Structure 1
């Protein structure tokens, strides 16, 4: 995934906020379809996302993160958090969010002010309907209250289509985890996505459990 000046992301802050004025930095990676709508450029417009049919999952999906992958701590002063991310992944910064990606795997943290703490009830009544309207072929798996080392969170698990590859038009079916955390009037959404069938349970556990408010 290549990042450059003028590269803009659509950041899904569970409330699906569009962010403008983006900048990108980091190592270019091999071109691939970006993973997950919380972190992708060129996401499907809301008018088409809800009516899009799920694409078939790959029988031998790409996207397993290697067992020997090294991780580094990333610190966000605007967001007020730290989180561990895989070393060498491409990074793209936006106003209100940051994305790390490698081929079809994506990590994103997006933040915004919030008047109330995250809750399962609010996720069901507000966040999930917004995601259903905006994310391509969004299918909810489940929503639960969880406790991370960094604090309580609401976990929204879903499957979604990736945006079409800009060259081939190919799409992938993605497993998407959205952890919604809050502290002191600030909300953060930690999104982790990879192709359906990819074995990234341990890497995603490491990343989610590394999140800390500062």
Structure 2
């Protein structure tokens, strides 16, 4: 075979190989085998997430005394406050603390609470489910405790209600009665906060 013939064959093979390479690996085709680097996951929030109605363990409490004095009691700092007659209410999300004071000639008893107070509560509470009427001892002295369940006030935005677990304490001292009502969603773990508040009452 002549030199010219061999050169011609070599040249044709080179062109064919170039065409095949271009068809398989042309970067302009829009297809690339390069993988994108893995996405770095966004870290989740580290803020405390409490079940609905649970009062945080780090909640701060401050003393409150009503106009005219007579007693003081600790309430959660930062809760919204409202006044209606002799009753002061502190609220935050789904929880409520209501403090009412009045004159009373005698201390309440389990009997008086059962025959007088429970019927009044029943008539004014939607979804009322009775609990127990007992006496408990707190630092301010003995109190009558009425427990029950009832529907909460409707949410101002959604109109929905939840079932509240309610603790109502009747304290008495020297002709003055203080009614402390603690309420929050059924199932919320507020045993310690409610104990702290009810145990903080001091006569002055």
Q: How high is the TM-score relative to the length of structure 1? A: 0.69
Q: Which has the larger radius of gyration?
A: 2
Task: State the partner residue of 2:148.
Answer: 158
Does the alignment pair 1:139 with 2:129? yes
1:77 deviates by 3.8
- The structural deviation recorded for 1:89 is 0.7
Offset at 1:93? 2.1
Alignment partners' CA distance in 2, 1:78 and 1:136: 33
Structure ranking higher in helix proportion: 2
Aligned to 1:69, the other structure's residue is in SS state coil
- Corresponding residue number in structure 1 for 2:55: 65
Does the CA contact (< 8 Å) of 1:79 and 1:111 recur in 2? no
Asked if structure 2 preserves the Cα contact closer than 8 Å seen for 1:89 and 1:101, the reply is yes
1:74–1:85 Cα contact (<8 Å) kept: yes
- Per-residue deviation, residues 50-100 of structure 1 (Å, max 9, x unmatched): xxxxxxxxxx96111000111111122435110111111111123211111
Q: CA RMSD in A?
A: 1.4
Specify the alignment match of 1:171 in structure 2: 161
Aligned length: 155
For 1:18-57, list aligned pairs within 5 A: none
Q: Give the unaligned 5+ runs of structure 1.
A: 1-59
2:101 to 111, 120, 127: 111
Q: Which has the higher contact order (CA 8 A, sep 6+)?
A: 1
Gaps of 5+ in 2: 1-49
> Which of 183, 186, 193 is 1:196 aligned to?
186
